[in-house]
Amino acid sequence: MQPARAEENSTVRLHAAGSLRAAMMDIAKAFTASSGIKVTTVFSSSGLLRERFEKGEGGDVFASADMGNPQKLAQDGKAGSVVLFTRNRLCAVLRPGLSLTSDTLLAAMLDPTVKLGTSTPKADPSGDYAWEIFRKAETIQPGNQAKLEAKALQLTGGPTSAVPPPDINPYAWHLKEGRADLFLAYCTGGREVEAQLPGASMVALPAALATCADYGLTVLKSGDAARGGMLALFILSAEGQKILADYGFDAPLR
């Protein structure tokens, strides 16, 4: 399904989770090529983006790394219906020289000598998903959750988090700089780390800790409903879903 050509110089504003940056940049280019509508993009943690909308910042489309943040906007009358448009998974991304398997991962996460990096809960869904992993670890051995929450280094996704140099994956940056030995991160981000940091690797979570991330899409009421709707439909289209799949996302509508 291709959107109709729009009037020249028309623009649509896309706010999206940082984990979607590469995929959404390609989606924006494809959408502009087919519709004539330019896309301006803002990428940040989904929770921080929601707070910006709540404070009055305008936008047309919000692509979140969870369902909760866009649903909160919908409940408050600031956005339309929320649609699940893609999924991601959590993996452990390891610094060069650290070798682990799914079976040995939890022991390493609990090891006091291993620096465990996460994103920031509430501000960034990736941090919330990490805390969900910690809750699952509690069912394996009582006390695990408290130990993991206490030692987790919230290095990304927060309002005061250090910002990496341009075009460097934040997980790769923190691992390279020695601030973390392993990072609980999206598997799509892990692919970028492996490409940018020689020797880095990614390991799947064991079945007992496996965590899926549902991504929600909504059209904001502060913006242009027609252009926002066109972009949202393109993201949901076969072409948009293929681009997401090419970047390692699970595209359920493909």
pLDDT in tens, 73-88: 999 999 999 999 999 9
Whether residue 140 sits in one domain with residue 82: no
Query: What single DSSP character describes residue 187?
Result: H
Question: Is there a domain that residue 4 lies in?
Answer: no
Residue of 149, 136, 81, 139 lying closest to 110 (CA atoms): 149
- Predicted confidence at residue 9, as pLDDT, reads 64
What is the domain-level CATH number for residue 38? 3.40.190.10
* SS3 at position 164: coil
Can you tell me the mean pLDDT for 17-28? 97
pLDDT digits (tens, 9 = 90+) for 137-160: 999 999 999 999 999 999 999 999
Kindly tell me the sign of the dihedral angle through the C-alpha atoms of 180, 182, 188, 193: positive
Domain count of the chain?
2
Kindly report the number of other CB atoms within 10 A of residue 199's CB atom: 12
Question: Is there a domain that residue 251 lies in?
Answer: no
Length reported for the chain: 254
Whether residue 125 sits in one domain with residue 25: no
Q: Which long-range contacts (CB under 8 A, 24 or more apart) does 187-193 make?
A: 187/88, 187/89, 187/90, 187/91, 187/248, 188/19, 188/23, 188/88, 188/247, 188/248, 188/249, 189/19, 189/93, 190/91, 190/93, 191/248, 192/22, 193/93, 193/169
Question: Is there a domain that residue 120 lies in?
Answer: yes
Average pLDDT, the chain: 95
Determine which of 77-81, 166-170, 238-242, 246-250 has the lowest per-residue pLDDT on average. Answer: 166-170
Whether residue 32 sits in one domain with residue 73: yes
DSSP string, 101-158: -HHHHHHHHH-TTS-EEEE-TTT-HHHHHHHHHHHHHHHHSTTHHHHHHHH-EEEESS
Q: Whole-angstrom Cα distance, residue 7 to residue 238?
A: 24
Residue 12 in this model has a pLDDT that exceeds 80: yes
Whether residue 111 sits in one domain with residue 39: no
**Environment class of residue 138 by beta-carbon count within 10 Å: exposed (0-12), middle (13-18) or buried (19+)?**
middle
Whether residue 169 sits in one domain with residue 158: yes
- Predicted confidence at residue 39, as pLDDT, reads 98
- Predicted confidence at residue 95, as pLDDT, reads 97
Q: Which domain holds residue 136?
A: 88-204
Residue 254 in this model has a pLDDT that exceeds 70: no
Whether residue 233 sits in one domain with residue 162: no
* SS3 at position 50: helix
- Predicted confidence at residue 7, as pLDDT, reads 54
- Predicted confidence at residue 252, as pLDDT, reads 75
Asked if residue 87 lies in contact with residue 249, where contact means CB atoms within 8 angstroms, the answer is yes
CA-to-CA separations, 246 to 169, 211, 241, in angstroms, rounded: 18, 21, 9
Whether residue 167 sits in one domain with residue 198: yes
pLDDT digits (tens, 9 = 90+) for 109-135: 999 999 999 999 999 999 999 999 999
Whether residue 19 sits in one domain with residue 82: yes
- Position with higher pLDDT, 2 vs 230: 230
- Predicted confidence at residue 167, as pLDDT, reads 86
Instruction: State pTM to two decimals.
Output: 0.92
Percent of the chain with pLDDT strictly greater than 90? 93
pLDDT digits (tens, 9 = 90+) for 62-76: 999 999 999 999 999
Radius of gyration of the chain (CA): 19
Question: Is there a domain that residue 5 lies in?
Answer: no
- Predicted confidence at residue 99, as pLDDT, reads 96
Residue 5 in this model has a pLDDT that exceeds 60: no
Whether residue 79 sits in one domain with residue 98: no
Question: Is there a domain that residue 1 lies in?
Answer: no
Asked if residue 187 lies in contact with residue 202, where contact means CB atoms within 8 angstroms, the answer is yes
* SS3 at position 172: helix
Question: Is there a domain that residue 253 lies in?
Answer: no
Whether residue 16 sits in one domain with residue 68: yes
